[in-house]
A and B are shown apart, each in its own frame.
Chain A
Amino acid sequence: MIPAPFTLRRAATWQALPELLEDALPLGGGQSLMPLLALRLAEPTALVALRALPGFSDIAERDGALWIGAGVTHARIEDGIGPAPLRDWLSQVAAGIAYRPVRNLGTIGGSLALHDPAADWPVALLALGASAVLRQGDTRRVLPMAQFLTGAFATALQPGEVIEAVTIPIPAPGTRFGWCKLAPAPGAFADALAGVFRAPGAAPRIAVASPAGARLMPEAPPPDDPHLARLRAVAIRRAGA
């Protein structure tokens, strides 16, 4: 239960990061990575702590969206960030993740980067129409969640690239969001997750957890698929949207 030996590095600038990462894994809050190392499911020779990167834990409202730095913890989100009602929706999702001592260190960026198919943020952020801001040195690219999340434990991240932030469009007035997590105990990983986002006059956008990772349910289920239509109805009802 002791990790294999590794060297710990600290990234102080975005410019130096890609080189530091050449033979190393990025370390966010460590709340998934440290257990993986303790169980020796991964044996990297070096880790690069990201938390001192400039702006890594910033929160801001910019261009009609809430910018959440990748280093923002679940606990900080649980306690309330951004404008209502988005603040309450995010708080509800964060409060259901693990336990407070884990939420005090675990980050939204780390959750997204790992893309555990049972994790809460990938599903919630997909439903909310969020994007991932990816950064490598001074180069940035912004990917909508559906393009960023490519499969269970898989994302569009390239070597040397990390998540700098998540951006979530500020919802129009009258928008509703429902969230349902079914888990064997409070704070445990989910057996089932659904997030339902309903902007006024638009069809509900529904994201669910699947063995292949977070995914959107088709907006118009094919008429020959009554099962999918029923699943949509259940998701909407259970999530209370």
Chain B
Amino acid sequence: MAELMLYTPVRLVSNELTYYLSLLLEVGVYMNGNSFDDAISEIKRKIGKKKVLIEPGDLYAYSLDASTERREAPGAIVRTYADEDVITTLKVADEKRIPVIPRGGGTSLTGASIPVVPKSIVLDLTPMDDIQVNIDDGYAMAEAGATVLQVDQACRNEGFFFPPDPASSRYATIGGALAENAGGLRGAKFGVMKNWVLAMEVVIPGGKKLRIGEPVLKWRWGPDLISLFIGSEGTLGVITRAWLRIYPLPEKVVRIMGVFNKLEDAGRAISEIRRRGYLPMMLELLDKETVDIVEEVLGYKFPKGEAMVIVDVDGPIEAVWRLARQVENVMKENRGKTETSDDPEKMKNLYLARQGAYAAVTRAYPSVLHEDITVPLSKLVDALRELDNLRRKYGLRMPVFGHAGDGNLHPDICFDPSDKAQARKAKEMFKKVGELAVRLGGAVSGEHGIGFVKKEIFLEEIKSVRGENYLELVRKVKRVLDPNGIMNPGKLWF
């Protein structure tokens, strides 16, 4: 028992400990070094030793993702070049009860793609990156390792585009984005990954390959297993390829920036834009603290106010300016000062504050806790006011920006890790922000997922809102697909 405790992730929630330990016992692998070595030798023999890395100089590079948390280095990396590599690995790993962590770009902000238990295999899917765009049938087929941006670019060559655009799209993969149900700026109009997938191929423990969904625009048999894998964070199986819906490129995009003296005015303008059905492609909000930090660190100058709202509308050339004027008018009616442009250079300038937010915050502060909450749109202003109160109470800087179009806010809690008191306050504040979201009827994760970083608060949210039964149901589903619990242990629900 004492030995097992050693392997338990430090952040593990105490009331989850029993379940977690039972899972460990079930897997039963962590005490058996030999079976790990055997498994690796077998995988090497079957798929070729060049694809399997075991030198610590390689392993340690895979022990971190964009959460910047460190737990365990993997015991081996398997780099997959074909379905067979995935199938073999999941077959052997399941037999030998070796944990497997699928990994795409490793841009998870919640530690979803790094091991938290020793002697695991990280399955690196990035080498599988083929993309085929099929305009006639209205989809793009992408292998799991293709980046979201590569898919978008491949579509653009044909006059189409791929709408979900997480800010990490240059390196985040299709597999990772599906497994995280990622969204982005264009989410206000186009939603998230789950709205854009027609079919997927997945490999589940035991090495069984399944095709779920159909690569046609309409199909109806249920239950819909695609949804089961969306947002599953690699805990059910490995996505190897997906057939994705694509969308014609808009003829024209116009950008409108509005600056508001009062948060409430910005909030009203945002709800009014939605209420009138303008359906903007992007609807971003930045609070004063964000704009201040971007000014301080990157040296830009912006108009002053309590909030900045940036809106993109798109459409045919004849219609788009009419729509843009309507949005502008809503902002003006709510005392906003506006600037509007369709010139690419000027549009870039109108977006500078949002574009620079991540860089400014990460440059200025050695440590940042990136929060990611969603609240009902009607509660947006309440949330912003409450966040401001928290900021005052704890005395830490916390710029808030995000996709106001879908109620998704990113409060970034900035602190100096060498200052123990500050670090403690930041952690407390992080929790409070999550609680605030739940209290206002929202969710603790809009788009960054749960991983292990947010597991504690996520399970609290689930228990308080949905009850233990829900938890049990999900765990039963997990056991059907992954009876030995090898897939990404210690993450999300499991």
Do A and B come together as binding partners? no
